[in-house]
Amino acid sequence: MSARGRQTADPPILIVEDKDSLRVMLRHALEAQGHTVIEARDQPEAVTALQSVRPAMVLSDLRLPEGDGFGVLRAAKDLDPELPVVVMTAFGNIQDAVAAMKEGALDFLAKPVDPDHLLLLVERALVQQRLATENFLLKEELAQRRGAPQIIGEDPKLKQVSQALHRAAGTDNTTVLIEGESGTGKELFARALHVLSARADGPFVAINCAAIPENLLESELFGYEKGAFTGATARKPGRFELAHRGTLFLDEIGDLPLGLQAKILRALEEKSFDRVGGTVPLRVDVRVVAATNRGLKAAVAARQFREDLYFRLSVFPITIPPLRERPDDITLLARYFIDKYCRDMNKRSLTLAPSAEQAMKDYPWPGNVRELQNCIERAVILSDGDTIRASQLSLTFRAAPGAAGVGEELNPWAAIDLSGSLPDATKRIVAEVERRKIEQALREADGNRLRAAELLQVSQKTFLTKLKEHGLESA
């Protein structure tokens, strides 16, 4: 591979062609128009060039002595899904060029190459790239003005998720599947995706598929007509209808009953549905974002989730890493929540004691960001000085290996106030046990409140009352 041409501020154009005569002709034509050019003779050289110099566009032959143009195309798209790629092929192999365009190539050039046509395609590709960049920046600015949900974190894994989110936001209709453990912030990412998209002016409608009884879920999703069932005294629009020209967020899609999965699939594929009791299909323009904390592939294998619906939902999958995999973000998030709750409670600013900071870094955070947020909220309430101590964090699970010794329990009494009379101390201990049991049940039930109540052997009404008493409504 060699680099030639004048040095300019613009990124170069990568030419991938094994025939020296054609490569030289292409380079001269482009340089005459003021472009910088870098060259490669086969796929390995092209991949090296892509990794070392981010080009403005790629011009690649489909037939190469080592590898092929399809490999170059995939490598370019792995680097940047928006990177324009134009493929070249002999006239008799136009079918290959069409196949390349289906994989993401912008256009193709038939050999022998017409220099004027070449320059026209290059200009078109570069204009498209500039417009995509400008559009991205405008959306970023607009999102900031509209108060897009703030995603806190500097970890490389989280930044990759944010980049994927922005790419997905650039498409108006592509279905997105957000995967991640409970408490990682899947709805936050879904809302950010909506605000960054062209549908930002439309509604964002969310529904938790695990929180609504199966016999009510269909009417919640699709609405119902007057008289459709006992108590249906008037027509009611469903979530699909309410999300017209906006985004519908289907949270915990893995808990969707099998009977409804076929109807969801039809709504996704045909952009239409019937209200319960209705006879006329309703058409909607909706972008669906689904989320799950379950392994849907395993659910498909176990025949608990339709394979065709899984493939329809996972056109653009995004996986949010758990908090334990981004340890450097723990303190950053903690300080963000401390500032937030100090403002909300009209408290003076608080700092984290070094021991508290270390305790948080050693803790595995099974409840992820949600657990951290609840932990900090309680700590701000408990704090009566200007520092949050480790004993005020109420960390309830085992420490990470090496923190307090493998398998050693964190002190369960550290966050409980034993002062005052026996009845007062007993009341506080009972409240703490209730809170911890509720949190444990929610984790074991993957956030499903009905299942959590069953695990605790209490009624759903009692469970919801206890959630409110202990400030766990958002858990």
174-228 pLDDT, tens digit each:
999 999 998 899 999 999 999 889 898 888 889 998 888 878 888 889 988 888 8
Which pLDDT score, from 0 to 100, does residue 140 have?
A: 47
Which pLDDT score, from 0 to 100, does residue 250 have?
A: 94
Which pLDDT score, from 0 to 100, does residue 261 have?
A: 92
φ, ψ for residue 471 (rounded to 5)? 65, 35
Domain boundaries, the chain: 2-134, 156-321, 323-415, 416-475
What fold characterizes domain 323-415?
Helicase, Ruva Protein; domain 3 (1.10.8)
Locate 35 and state its tokens. 């472009």
At 419, the pLDDT band (50, 70, 90 cuts) reads: low
How far is 127 from 249, CA to CA, in rounded Å?
34
161-182 pLDDT, tens digit each:
988 998 898 888 899 999 999 8
For residue 39, give the nearest of 31, 21, 22, 27 by alpha carbon: 27
Which pLDDT score, from 0 to 100, does residue 5 have?
A: 36
295-326 pLDDT, tens digit each:
888 889 888 899 999 999 999 999 999 999 99
Thinking of the domain 156-321, which architecture would CATH place it in?
3-Layer(aba) Sandwich (3.40)
357-412 pLDDT, tens digit each:
888 988 899 889 999 999 999 899 988 888 998 888 878 654 444 333 333 334 44
Question: Which value, to the nearest 10 degrees, does the dihedral of the CA atoms of residues 393, 397, 398, 401 take?
Answer: -70
How far is 339 from 324, CA to CA, in rounded Å?
22
Which pLDDT score, from 0 to 100, does residue 418 have?
A: 62
Task: Name which residue leads in pLDDT, 309 or 472.
Answer: 309
For residue 2, give the nearest of 49, 42, 35, 69 by alpha carbon: 49
pTM for the full model? 0.55
Which pLDDT score, from 0 to 100, does residue 402 have?
A: 39
Instruction: Please classify residue 417 by burial: count the beta carbons closer than 10 Å to its beta carbon, then call 0-12 exposed, 13-18 middle and 19+ buried.
Output: middle
What CATH number does the domain located at 2-134 have?
Answer: 3.40.50.2300
Which pLDDT score, from 0 to 100, does residue 407 have?
A: 31
What fold characterizes domain 416-475?
Arc Repressor Mutant, subunit A (1.10.10)
Which pLDDT score, from 0 to 100, does residue 133 have?
A: 57
How long a stretch of residues is the chain?
Answer: 475
Say if residues 342 and 349 touch (Cβ distance below 8 Å): yes
Asked if domains 2-134 and 156-321 share a fold, the reply is yes
Locate 472 and state its tokens. 């766990």
Angle at 402 between CA 397 and CA 408, to 5 degrees: 45
